[in-house]
Amino acid sequence: MTNWNEITGIFSGIWRRQFGIKSQVSKKCLESCPPGPSGHAQQTLLIEDESLLKRFSLQQWLEVLRKVTYAIGGVVVFAAFRNSLTWHLEKFWGASGDFWQSQWGKIYTFFGEDDFAVGFYGTAWVSFLSYWFVCLLFLIIDLTGQPAFIFKYKIQDDQNIPVPRGKLLHAIAVVLYNQVVVGGPTLLLLYHLMQWRGCSFGRELPSIYWVMVEAVVFLIFEEIGFYYSHRVFHHPRVYRYIHKIHHEWTAPISVVAIYCHPLEHLFANILPAVIGPVVMGSHVATLMLWIHVAQTSAIISHCGYHLPFLPSPEAHDFHHLKFTNNFGTLGILDRLHGTDSLFRQSRQYQRHVLLLGLTPVKQAFPDDPKEQKCD
């Protein structure tokens, strides 16, 4: 609802800035003016000062009216937008029994309304199928070269054309191993942990507001967990035994998002993503949604293409190219610890934006000819 006290406060502030100070000074001076000729003279001057209100120009009044109108209009528009957004979000999520609630009900029924079936098998299938569905979209481009126009969005132009088949098949085998042998038991443990935490596996979904709050917490936990575990795996005593596998691809492609040593997959990929849902006691449907979002984000970060309307993969692509910068997911801890200093001096940093048009970022921010000569 519109906060009329706030509107009144805004109007009062504008009034005081325009002429309120003079009025207050005049009132105080009139009260303290001594009698006699000098006092009469002071009162005359102050009365003339008060008469400025009467001579307030039409333009000044219109300016005040414009400011007040903007203030009131802004509050009304915000209130209307908030109410509209609230309505649409509630309808979208289906907390009252609409589309998404009914779809989740079908999934819940499909798994026999059994908590274990939904919590373990359901989560495992969502994790597996969503990963390969998104990867397949990029693999088709990498393997067929079609549609050809996509290649103008390629970040490292001369790499993986074509993708080495033997290297790709090895990467797929490692990814499948990580998903089944590492991910399977971890998801089983996660189910029991969520049961102990009191997470819901039932038919009723949480509200969209709560899911949005949880998403913020998930992002924070993932940024912290991934950044520091990633830094550990880059330590010289650890890197050559574990993380070096992932960096075999200096120009990454989609499928190598979880191409890594099993220990890295557990401690850098899985745990940072699931700590948030456990801490928040999230519904299993929220966990599934978050797994899909987190995996899709990781795949896009490794896909090798800076496509329109998708998150920029420039930061993580730069990490694969240089190894020493951009260890986090959001870039917050990289900025805090100064582990993005080289990246911020690069052309890739200028290109690290959400592309809202069809013009490739390489055309908007072309390479420096001097840098090309140095290379």
Sorting pLDDT into bands at 50, 70 and 90, what band is 78? low
Query: So what's the pLDDT on residue 367?
Result: 84
pLDDT in tens, 346-373: 999 999 999 999 999 999 899 876 655 4
pLDDT, one tens digit per residue, over 317-354 is: 999 999 999 999 999 999 999 999 999 999 999 999 99
What pLDDT sits at residue 86? 62
More confident residue, 374 or 328: 328
Quickly tell me which residue has 């390479």 as its tokens. Answer: 367
11 confidence band (pLDDT: 50, 70, 90): very low
What percent of the chain shows pLDDT beyond 90?
Answer: 67
pLDDT per residue as tens digits for the range 194-217:
999 999 999 999 988 899 999 999
3 state SS of 109: helix
Amino acid identity, residue 287? Answer: L
Taking only the tens place, the pLDDT of each residue in 122-179 is: 999 999 999 999 999 999 999 999 999 999 999 998 888 889 999 999 999 999 999 9
Listing DSSP states for 269-328 in one string gives IIHHHHHHHHHHT--HHHHHHHHHHHHHHHHHHHSSB--TTS---HHHHHHHHHSSS--S
**Cβ(194)–Cβ(278) under 8 Å?**
yes
The whole model's pTM is what?
0.75
Q: Residue 326 corresponds to which tokens in the numbers above? A: 């951009």
